[in-house]
């Protein structure tokens, strides 16, 4: 990271400092007790939260488990820029990387915003392998480095971002109701 990006009181961390990668599997999702399934088609580019899902009744292959508060990163077709937090428990495609925020230098609420920056997606695209359906490896994702301020400043940033997101969502609802 260039010296020009460094600020007093900020420190460099990796995604691996802020979360764990979870790879619990479910053999038969339709009989798992979970109702919701998230495929990559349910994840929208640059959306902070998952807003769509399918039913596990329609899924017969092995899937990954996720919990409310986890962040899903689409590892296939990285150029579509899909990383979103979920607010429910369920199962997801094996082409999603499940990240579980941990107590550490980064507030969990900030993680989906960090993963939806231009800087992160430039890194992810440069690190993805393949030509037709580029894939990001878990190890390269976990090695992504970024600068982060103190947790008190992070809280101010998260509060501002959530206020802006709420304002945007209210504008969209208003537009729909016109």
pLDDT in tens, 82-114: 999 999 999 999 999 999 999 989 999 999 999
pTM for the whole structure? 0.90
Residue 178: is its pLDDT beyond 90?
no
Q: How does residue 36 score in pLDDT terms, banded at 50, 70 and 90?
A: very high
- The answer on pLDDT for 154 being more than 90 is yes
Distance CA 23, CA 51 (A): 22
Q: Is the pLDDT of residue 1 over 50?
A: no
Instruction: Evaluate if residue 21 carries a pLDDT over 80.
Output: yes
Q: Is pLDDT above 80 for 127?
A: yes
What pLDDT shows up at residue 170? 85
- The Cβ of residue 99 has, within 10 Å, a number of other Cβ atoms equal to 27
CA distance 102 to 71: 12
% of residues, the chain, pLDDT over 70: 97
pLDDT band at 4 (very low <50, low <70, confident <90, very high): low
82, with CB counted inside 10 A (0-12, 13-18, 19+), is buried
Q: Provide mean pLDDT across the span 50-72.
A: 95
Position 132 scores a pLDDT of 81
* pLDDT mean over 50-73: 95
């Amino acid at each position: 990271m260039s010296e020009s990006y460094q600020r007093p009181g900020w420190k460099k961390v990796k995604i691996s400092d802020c979360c764990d990668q979870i790879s619990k599997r479910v053999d038969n999702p339709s009989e798992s007790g979970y109702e919701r399934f998230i495929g990559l088609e349910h994840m929208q580019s640059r959306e902070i939260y998952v807003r769509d899902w399918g039913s596990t009744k329609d899924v017969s292959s092995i899937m990954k488990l996720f919990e409310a508060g986890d962040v899903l990163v689409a590892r296939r077709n990285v150029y579509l820029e899909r990383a979103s937090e979920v607010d429910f428990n369920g199962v997801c495609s094996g082409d999603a990387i499940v990240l579980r925020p941990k107590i550490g230098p980064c507030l969990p609420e900030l993680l989906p915003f960090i993963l939806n920056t231009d800087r992160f997606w430039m890194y992810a695209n440069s690190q993805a392998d393949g030509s037709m359906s580029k894939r990001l490896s878990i190890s390269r994702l976990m090695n992504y480095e970024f600068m982060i301020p103190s947790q008190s400043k992070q809280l101010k940033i998260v509060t501002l971002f959530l206020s802006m997101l709420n304002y945007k969502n209210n504008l969209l609802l208003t537009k729909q109701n016109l």
